[in-house]
Every structure is written in structure tokens, then in C-alpha cells.
């Protein structure tokens, strides 16, 4: 009587090309023992809340399950969000808040809508009645809670069980020929420290009994259970449906446990935090256990043990993309070549308790007492760190356990504390723990170095760390606000093969800032394709509005978005926002000429944010401030770049730096550094008086927003001071000797006054210009530095001078060094203009990304 079943099994196996199974069955058939020996293989498939929370989800589940060849047990969660809702409604009812009724009704409606979409018409009434009966009971319980305004754990456990009870009834009736089981009848727990612990002996026995004849498709709810003594409803903890599935798989020797969820598999990191996390093809049980113990929500941590114990592989699959391979978890040790770690996970709920004191050194039994007392209070410790000096033991626990743990430890060590042998015991709360995991870390030197080096470079402080001798996990504790950044930099450092991300804040969207954003927009795709560099503009600020977006601002629409969605901006707000964002690999680009913005650089550098400045104020301010900024950048391992401070996009500072790195020594510099002044002197003619030339320079976008900064020589002085400093000389602005061409009184009033009075200069200048032209000479505003002595002023140059032919707004610099001596090095080209300046900024940004 078994043979027809074997025959159908065989043909189905053939279809699936499972040759091994076919061979086994043949062998068994041949030896005529088939009747007795065939141990029917079966699978357990668990579908999470997101998989069953919608009509589409349940229809996918139905399709997946009905296509199975082997008998399957389907374990389902409550619809997504329902367990949370049930807790919420219970709370409202307990507070005597009438709105619980409306919330409850919404919950009922959601289930009824799904029933309508997934249950065949001829079964609808039956299923609605079944579910309605459950909701009536539940509503009575809520009414009781509302009237009494009190609730117990027992009642809460009963309330939340309805999520799985109801979802499993719906799914069982949506799948053709499925048989419904109530998992409370076979999952038994006992109470330990107010936690429900599975009684495996009873549970396994009851499972074997319940499934002694295995239907092709069985459906039951996960998570829910009953107390072995009282038979009251209990549960296996949040996320516990995975565990129910694993318990069933282990008890029934399933061929595989499949966890169906809403992502393509177990990923290198939490995809909600790391958007370029990717699916891990294979994991060992140990790796999976380490990762989910530390917060990889995709599997509830206790799930691994029962299947590991029975060597039943686990597959993580996506209900909404069943074609994706998913992740295979087995005993097999696997490793992608060149990758030492498999994944990163974290918990943002960490409290660190430190037991410390010189009296602990060499004393036997202190740790024993710590752990005994914590165990006695039911506190689970997930990280321990003790220095070899033995005077400090730090323990990582959940925030919720911290107060009880501190209390218990203080009591345990009250004598030693009173004697001063142990310091008072305290906890540091609101921390986060991160773990990097991989079997391949074993005996691979340098992993810890790389991890802590990466964290250090990014300004992330490590409060405690631990690595077990198994070498499959290195964990560290940091403050919670650094968690996201820590995960990003570690992920980038260990996995990011595909591309590198540079997060950019652009402040100032005037001529240069606007042009820069345009250039970034144009280059984004190319840089990604050719250099695997993702330029992600995460903040844009005008003088009035600011916009921040971690995922990246759309550069097509930023101007509009800034207006419509931007918040009011101020230097302080910008600073706070950027620090709060705490984003990795970030660079602050200052395209303003604002002192308050340049005052923020020090803070940013201190926080490991690189600074690229078009703004010259910082580099030309006091020598002390300049050196401080450079020193901070060096110390924090980030960059402070300001190439465009001198000569716009011309590579002057970079070239000087390179000369100095190679051991050369800069002795002298002669330069025309003001695009504006050069433009003005090249534009003045009998038709264009100086006042008009100034206006033209402004309109062409060469001049500073306030052109007096150019005309007074201030701009050139700033540039010369920056150059002299970069050449290695300690120079202040006051040290520069000035020979100006516009009398001081024109700079005294307001900008308006200036524009009104400046035409007074026209006639005199025209006189002088005529005389100069007659001599075959031209004016150039020249900056000179010789062994640290600086001066700026108007010079008359004849046609033999290299500056004579300097066109338009061009700049030129002659650099005399030990090596470039007889013939100085000459750099010449556009020295002003939005597009060349922003290109210079772009090049600073790219050099931070280090792809050149
Ligand atoms: P289900 O309802 O199916 O049980 P969960 O929400 O419990 O689903 O778990 C799946 C979610 O876990 C994913 O949607 C993802 O956001 C999150 N997650 C966290 N860490 C990881 C990781 N390392 N790999 C995959 N998913 C992860
Ligand atoms: N429904 C339960 C929860 O939300 C169990 C589960 O989804 O696994 O925690
Ligand atoms: Mg889950």
C-alpha cells in the first residue's frame, strides 16, 4: 500500500532532478525494505509577518507552498505590525482609554480585508465565522482589561497570541488542502526568571505525537505556546515564530528549515542602515548564530541552536522574490576569497557595567561572584571584557537589565566597596555594541587592527571590546550616536568592493557653489561607472535655507527643494545638523566668504569631517589658527584643502606642496593673483574708465561679492599670506607691505557710497593710463614673497616682463626654488570665474576620495 506513494514521490523527485533521493529510494526498493525504512523527508517553511501581512503576501505564500513536493509544515507569524498593535490596544484599554475600541476595530478590519482577498468564495463565510469567534473572545478580554484597568503578564500573553492564532487560521484556509494545527498544543514552556523557556522534552514528544501522520501541508502559528504546568498561553519572545519553526524542524528531522521573509537573504549588515549591504550566499551555523545574537533581526537568535544540533540546514528566502538564491546556513565552513569577515551586526541597546578596584587584582573568585549574582537575577550578559591587569571587569547587558544588575552587584560586593577594595559599581547606559563575524578571521592577522584603525580614523571611540579565542567574532561597545557611522565605515572598509561613498555638504549655492553642484550632477554617473566613486551630496545650504538628506539630495531639483523643504539656516544650526548626522566619509565644502562659516572648520575637523574651502578667511586668518586647523586635520586623519584660495582652479598650492614633499625649498614667488584686478587693468581704455571696469569685473563674476576686498589689495594679501605659509614661512597679514592704487577714503563708507564716489577716480586714472601706454608699459598688481618677506602693489611692467601679456582675468605665478632657480617654475591661466573655481573645488573633493 506504500508503493503508489513512493511512485509519485519518485516522479516528483525526478522532476526536480533530485537524483540523490531517487537513488536512495531505488536502493531501498530493491532491498524490499521500503515499507519499513522510508523515513519520509519533510520541510519546515516559516513565513514572517511581512510575508503574511497582505493579500499579495499570502497569495505568494500559497504559490510557494503548493508547489512543494515534500510534505511541509508551514509556520506563520502574525500579520506584520499586529503584535505591536495588540500590545498597544492592551495598553490603551488598561489606561481606561476608550480609543482602544477604534484601534481594535481597525485591526479587525485589516484581517477581514485580507480574508476577502485570499479566501475562495465558497469558504469565505466559514473563515469569517472562525476568525470572528476569535475576535469576539479577544474583544471580551480587552473589555475586561478596560473595566478593571489592570493587566497581568498572563493576560498580555493571551492577548498577543491572537495575532498568530488568527493569521494561521487565515493562511491554512487560503492554501488548498492545508491542515491547521494550534502550536499551543505542542509547544510547552516553563517559567524561569519571568521568561518562558521551552521544555524540549515535552515539546518534542508532543510534536512527534501531533505529526505522527504528516499531512502534505500543515499550517500553524509560530511564537505561541503554553505553560507545561498551568496550560496558560505563553510565547517564545518577540520574533519567536522562527524559533517555533526550528523546534518543529529539529523534532521532525526536517531536511531543511526555510525562513521566508522580505529580503533576499542574510545580508552583510542591516539593510535598513547600510544601503549597500548585500546578500551573503553561505554562512556557517556559528556565523549565523553570532550575527543574529548581535541583532541581525532576520533570524530570532534561539532559532539556530535546535537546527544546528540536528545538523538541519537553514535557508533564508524572499517571499516576494522566490527566484533569488537566498542564504544557505549549514555546518559547512565557507568563505568568499579575500573576505575575512562575513557580516556585521549591532545592538543599539547596551549598558556597560564596570566592576573595578585594585582590591580585585589576583583575587580568585571575583568573576565567579559577578556572574553568579547576575545569573541568579536572570540577567543575560552578552559581552565581557577584562584587562589582564585584573582590576577591571566590564559587562555588557541590555539597558532594561542595567538597574537590577547594578543593584545586585552593589549588594554582592558591599563589603569590598565599604573597604575600598572595589570602587562603587556603576553603569554607562545608552551605548551600542557592534560585532564583526566570520569563521575566516581565525588565524588571519590584522583584522582587529583594520577594525580599530578604521574606527579611529573616523573619530569613533571604543568604550570596551572583546574577542573570544574562537576568533569568529570581535565585538566592541561605542556610544549610541556613533553606531550608524561605525557600521558604515566598517562595512566600507571590509566589504565595499563595489564602490566608495563620499558624503558631501555644500554650503553656499552662489556662483561657485551652484556651479560645483552642477559639475557634481554631471559627473556623478561617470565617476560611479569609471571610478566606483559615489558622490553623495547629503547637505546643501544657502544663506537662508538648509536641506539635509542622508540618502542624497537630488541635484536636479535641489534649488526648488531648498526653497520648499529647507529649514531656516544659521551657522550654528548647520553645525548641529551635520554633527548630529554623524555621517561617515564626509566632507564639508565651504563656498561662502563668510567668517561664521569658516569658524566651524575646527569643530568639523575635530569630528573627522574633511574641509574643502573656497572661503579664504580661515587659511589667511592668524597663523596660529591656520596651523591649528592643519594640525587638527593631520591628527584626525582627515583633510583641510583650500587649493582654490589662490589662483582659482590653477594647481598652485598642490604643486608647491609636492615640491616641498620632494625636499625642494621655495625661495621666492612673484605673482599676479587677482583675476579681478588683472581684468580691470586689461579692460581700462579710453572708452572704459576704471569705475566701469570695476563694475564689469563684478558683473562677470570675477570680483568678490564686495569688490573693495579686491581693490584694497586685501584679497591679494590673503592669497599671498596663504602661499607664503604653504611655502613654509610664518607670515601674518599685517606683515605684508602694501602699495595701493585707490586711496583709503574710498573704502571707508558703505558699499553704496563706494559705487557712488568711485567715478571720481576716472579722470586721473585715464591720464596715467595714457602716459603708461605711451611708454609701452602696463599695470600689474603684483604680489611678491622673498624668503618670507611679503609685499603687494601696483607695478608698471614693460613688454619684456612675463606679466606684460597676462590676458583678461588670468593669474600667473613664478616660483623660484632651490631646484627651479635660474628659470623659475611658471603657472599661468584663468585665475577667477565660477566654473574654473568650482573645478578646483571638485579636484580637492576627488583627492579626499583618494581615487587619483
Ligand atoms: P519577518 O517578519 O519575516 O520575521 P523580520 O522583520 O523579523 O521579518 O526580519 C527581516 C528584516 O530583518 C529585514 O527586513 C531587514 O530589515 C532586517 N535585518 C536586519 N539585519 C539584517 C541582515 N543582516 N540581513 C537581512 N536582514 C536584516
Ligand atoms: N508576531 C511575533 C512578533 O511580532 C512573532 C514573530 O513575528 O516572529 O514578535
Ligand atoms: Mg522575524
The pLDDT tens digits of the residues spanning 82-127 come to 999 999 999 999 999 999 999 999 999 999 999 999 999 999 999 9
And the C-alpha cell for 389?
Answer: 591587569
Give the pLDDT of residue 497. 54
Q: Give the residue ranges of the chain where pLDDT is below 70.
A: 1-40, 335-338, 362, 388-390, 469-470, 496-498, 850-852
Residue 522 annotated among the catalytic residues of the structure? no
Distance 65 CA to ligand 1 centre (A): 21
Measured distance CA(716)–CA(710) in Å, rounded: 7
Res 32: pLDDT: 34
**Average pLDDT of the chain, as a whole number:** 90
Within its chain, how far is the Cα of 333 from the centroid?
A: 29
Spatial separation of the C-alpha atoms in residues 847 and 651, rounded to whole Å? 13
Where do runs of H (alpha helix) occur along 673-761? 675-683, 690-699, 708-711, 714-726, 751-757
- The best mutation among 276, 292, 297 to test binding of ligand 1, ranked by most ligand atoms within 8 Å of the C-beta, falls on 297
Please spell the DSSP secondary structure of 461-516, one letter per residue.
PPSEEEE-TT-SEEEEEEEGGGHHHHHHHHHHHHT--S-EEEEEEEE--SHHHHHH
| 611 grid coordinates | 574641509
Mutate-to-test residue for ligand 1 from 261, 314, 315, highest number of ligand atoms within 8 A of CB: 261
Residue 441 confidence (pLDDT)? 84
C-alpha to C-alpha distance for 848 and 505, rounded to whole angstroms: 14
With a 6 A CB cut-off, is 588 part of the ligand 1 pocket? no
Of 104, 119, 8, the residue nearest 55 (C-alpha)? 119
- 309 in ligand 2 pocket by Cβ < 6 Å? no
368 forms beta bridges with none
The number of beta carbons lying within 10 Å of the beta carbon of residue 444 is 12
* Catalytic residue selected from 719, 730, 756, 828: 719
Q: Measuring from atom 4 of ligand 2, which residue has the nearest CA?
A: 83
In this structure, the number of other CB atoms found within 10 A of the CB of residue 481 comes to 14
Specify the DSSP class assigned to residue 423: P
Q: Are 62 and 35 in contact (CB under 8 A)?
A: no
How many C-beta neighbours within 10 Å does residue 340 have? Answer: 18
Specify the pLDDT at position 741: 87
Q: State residue 707's pLDDT score.
A: 86
- The overall pTM is greater than 0.85: no
Our CA dihedral for 306, 307, 309, 312, rounded to 10 degrees, sits at 160
Q: Please tell me the predicted confidence (pLDDT) of residue 440.
A: 84
Q: Is the dihedral of CA 188, 191, 194, 200 positive or negative?
A: negative
Contacts of 279 (CB under 8 A, 6+ apart): 263, 264, 265, 266, 267, 324, 325, 326, 327
CB 506 within 8 A of CB 558: no
The rounded distance, in Å, linking the Cα atoms of 495 and 342 is: 9
**Eight-class DSSP state of 247:** H
Count of Cβ atoms closer than 10 Å to residue 22 Cβ? 16
SS3 for 702?
A: coil
Question: Roughly what angle, to the nearest 10 degrees, separates helices 652-661 and 714-726?
Answer: 20
396 lines ligand 2 (CB under 6 A): no
Calculate the CA 603 to chain-centre distance: 21
Span from the CA of 582 to the centroid of ligand 2 (angstroms): 32
Element (H, E) at 345: strand 343-356
| Cα 455 to averaged position of ligand 1 atoms, centre (Å) | 26
Residue 30 has a pLDDT of 37
* Best residue for ligand 2 mutational test, from 47, 87, 165, 222 (most atoms within 8 Å of Cβ): 222
Is the distance from the beta carbon of residue 566 to the nearest atom of ligand 1 less than 6 Å?
no
Instruction: Please identify, by atom number, the ligand 2 atom nearest to the C-alpha of residue 237.
Output: 9
* Backbone torsions φ then ψ of 357, nearest 5 degrees: 165, 145
Q: How far apart are CA 740 and CA 791, in angstroms?
A: 11
Q: From residue 232, how far is each of 135, 190, 221, 672 by CA, in Å?
A: 19, 11, 16, 88
- For ligand 1, whether the C-beta of 263 sits within 6 Å is yes
The pLDDT of residue 496 is 64
Is the CB of 608 inside a 6 Å radius of any atom of ligand 2? no
- Decide whether any atom of ligand 1 lies within 6 Å of the 50 Cβ: yes
Give residue 338's pLDDT. Answer: 61
pLDDT value of residue 5: 43
* Ligand 2 atom nearest residue 163's Cα: 1
Residue 299 CA to ligand 3 centre (angstroms): 6
What would the DSSP string read from start to end of 730-748? Answer: ---GGGSEEE-SS-GGGGT
**533-541 and 500-507 beta bridge pairing:** parallel
pLDDT of 533 reads 87
Q: What is the pLDDT of residue 3?
A: 38
49 lines ligand 1 (CB under 6 A): yes
* Assigned C-alpha cell, 237: 519572545
**Per-residue model confidence (pLDDT) at position 691:** 94
241-251 vs 200-210: helix axis angle to the nearest 10? 70
Alpha helix (H) residue ranges in 322-472: 366-376, 399-412, 414-419, 447-457
Amino acid at each position: 500500500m506504500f508503493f503508489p506513494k513512493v511512485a509519485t514521490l519518485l516522479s516528483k523527485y525526478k522532476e526536480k532532478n533530485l537524483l540523490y533521493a531517487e537513488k536512495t529510494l531505488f536502493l531501498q526498493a530493491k532491498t524490499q525494505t521500503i515499507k519499513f525504512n522510508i523515513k519520509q523527508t519533510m520541510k519546515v517553511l516559516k513565513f514572517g509577518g511581512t510575508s503574511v501581512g497582505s493579500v499579495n503576501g499570502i497569495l505568494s505564500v500559497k504559490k510557494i507552498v503548493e508547489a512543494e513536493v515534500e510534505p511541509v509544515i508551514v509556520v506563520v507569524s502574525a500579520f506584520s505590525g499586529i503584535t505591536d498593535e495588540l500590545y498597544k490596544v492592551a495598553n490603551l484599554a488598561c489606561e481606561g482609554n476608550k480609543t482602544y475600541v477604534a484601534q481594535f476595530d481597525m485591526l479587525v478590519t485589516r484581517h477581514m480585508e485580507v480574508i476577502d482577498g485570499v479566501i475562495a468564495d465558497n469558504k469565505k463565510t466559514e473563515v469569517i465565522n472562525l476568525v470572528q469567534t476569535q475576535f469576539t473572545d479577544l474583544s471580551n478580554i480587552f473589555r475586561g482589561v478596560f473595566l478593571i484597568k489592570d493587566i497581568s503578564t498572563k493576560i498580555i500573553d493571551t492577548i498577543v497570541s491572537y495575532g498568530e492564532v488568527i493569521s494561521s487560521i487565515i493562511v491554512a484556509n487560503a492554501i488548498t488542502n492545508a491542515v491547521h494545527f494550534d502550536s499551543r498544543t505542542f509547544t510547552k514552556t516553563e517559567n524561569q526568571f519571568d521568561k518562558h523557556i521551552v521544555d524540549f522534552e515535552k515539546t518534542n514528544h508532543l510534536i512527534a505525537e501531533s505529526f505522527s501522520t504528516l499531512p502534505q501541508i500543515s499550517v500553524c502559528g509560530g511564537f505561541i505556546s503554553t505553560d507545561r504546568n498551568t496550560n496558560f498561553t505563553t510565547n517564545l519572545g518577540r520574533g519567536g515564530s522562527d524559533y517555533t519553526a526550528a523546534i518543529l524542524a529539529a523534532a521532525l528531522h526536517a531536511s531543511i528549515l526555510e525562513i521566508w521573509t522580505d529580503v533576499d537573504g542574510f545580508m552583510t549588515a542591516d539593510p535598513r542602515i547600510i544601503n549597500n549591504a548585500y546578500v551573503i550566499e553561505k554562512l556557517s551555523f556559528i556565523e549565523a548564530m553570532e550575527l543574529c545574537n548581535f541583532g541581525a533581526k532576520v533570524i530570532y537568535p534561539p532559532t539556530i541552536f535546535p537546527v544546528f544540533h540536528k545538523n538541519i540546514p537553514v535557508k533564508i528566502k524572499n517571499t516576494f522574490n522566490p527566484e533569488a538564491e537566498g542564504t544557505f546556513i549549514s555546518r559547512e565552513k565557507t568563505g568568499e576569497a579575500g573576505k575575512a569577515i562575513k557580516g556585521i551586526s549591532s545592538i543599539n541597546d547596551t549598558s556597560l557595567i564596570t566592576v573595578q578596584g585594585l582590591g580585585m587584582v589576583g583575587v580568585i573568585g571575583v568573576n565567579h561572584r559577578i556572574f553568579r549574582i547576575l545569573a541568579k537575577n536572570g540577567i543575560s550578559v552578552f559581552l565581557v571584557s577584562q584587562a589582564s591587569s585584573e582590576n577591571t571587569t566590564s559587562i555588557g547587558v541590555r539597558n532594561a537589565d542595567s538597574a537590577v544588575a547594578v543593584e545586585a552587584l552593589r549588594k554582592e560586593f558591599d563589603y569590598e566597596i565599604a573597604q575600598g577594595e572595589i570602587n562603587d559599581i556603576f553603569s554607562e547606559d545608552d551605548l551600542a555594541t557592534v560585532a564583526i563575524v566570520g569563521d575566516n578571521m581565525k588565524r588571519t592577522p590584522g583584522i582587529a587592527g583594520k577594525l580599530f584603525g578604521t574606527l579611529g580614523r573616523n573619530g569613533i571611540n571604543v568604550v570596551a571590546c572583546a574577542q573570544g579565542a574562537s576568533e569568529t567574532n570581535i565585538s566592541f561597545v561605542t556610544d549610541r550616536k556613533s553606531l550608524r557611522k561605525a557600521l558604515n565605515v566598517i562595512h566600507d572598509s571590509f566589504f565595499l568592493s563595489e564602490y566608495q561613498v563620499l558624503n558631501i555638504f555644500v554650503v553656499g549655492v552662489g556662483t561657485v557653489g551652484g556651479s560645483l553642484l552642477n559639475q557634481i550632477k554631471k559627473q556623478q554617473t561617470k565617476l560611479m561607472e569609471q571610478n566606483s566613486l559615489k558622490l553623495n551630496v547629503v547637505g546643501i545650504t544657502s544663506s537662508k535655507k538648509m536641506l539635509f538628506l542622508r540618502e542624497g539630495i537630488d541635484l536636479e531639483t535641489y534649488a526648488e527643494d531648498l526653497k520648499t523643504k529647507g529649514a531656516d539656516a544659521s551657522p550654528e544650526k548647520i553645525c548641529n545638523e551635520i554633527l548630529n548626522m554623524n555621517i561617515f566619509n564626509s566632507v564639508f565644502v565651504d563656498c561662502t566668504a563668510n567668517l561664521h562659516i569658516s569658524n566651524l572648520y575646527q569643530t568639523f575637523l575635530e569630528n573627522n569631517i574633511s574641509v574643502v574651502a573656497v572661503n579664504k578667511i580661515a587659511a589667511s586668518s592668524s597663523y596660529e589658527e591656520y596651523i591649528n586647523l592643519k594640525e587638527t586635520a593631520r591628527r584626525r586623519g582627515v583633510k583641510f584643502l583650500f587649493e582654490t584660495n589662490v589662483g582659482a582652479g590653477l594647481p598652485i598650492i598642490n604643486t608647491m606642496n609636492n615640491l616641498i614633499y620632494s625636499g625642494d625649498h621655495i625661495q621666492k614667488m612673484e605673482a599676479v593673483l587677482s583675476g579681478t584686478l588683472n581684468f580691470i587693468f586689461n579692460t581700462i581704455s579710453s572708452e572704459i574708465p576704471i569705475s566701469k571696469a570695476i563694475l564689469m569685473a563684478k558683473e562677470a563674476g570675477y570680483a568678490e561679492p564686495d569688490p573693495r576686498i579686491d581693490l584694497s589689495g586685501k584679497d591679494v594679501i590673503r592669497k599671498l599670506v596663504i602661499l607664503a605659509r604653504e611655502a613654509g614661512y610664518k607670515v601674518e597679514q599685517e606683515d605684508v607691505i602694501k602699495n595701493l592704487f585707490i586711496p583709503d577714503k574710498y573704502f571707508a563708507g558703505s558699499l553704496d557710497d563706494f559705487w557712488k564716489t568711485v567715478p571720481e577716480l576716472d579722470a586721473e586714472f585715464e591720464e596715467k593710463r595714457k602716459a603708461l601706454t605711451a611708454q609701452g608699459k602696463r599695470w600689474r598688481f603684483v604680489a611678491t614673497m622673498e624668503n618670507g618677506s611679503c609685499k603687494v602693489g601696483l607695478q608698471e611692467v614693460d613688454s619684456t616682463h612675463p606679466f606684460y601679456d597676462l590676458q583678461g582675468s588670468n593669474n600667473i605665478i613664478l616660483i623660484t626654488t632651490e631646484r627651479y632657480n635660474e628659470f623659475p617654475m611658471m603657472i599661468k591661466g584663468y585665475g577667477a570665474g565660477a566654473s574654473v573655481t568650482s573645478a578646483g573645488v571638485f579636484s580637492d573633493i576627488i583627492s579626499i576620495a583618494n581615487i587619483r
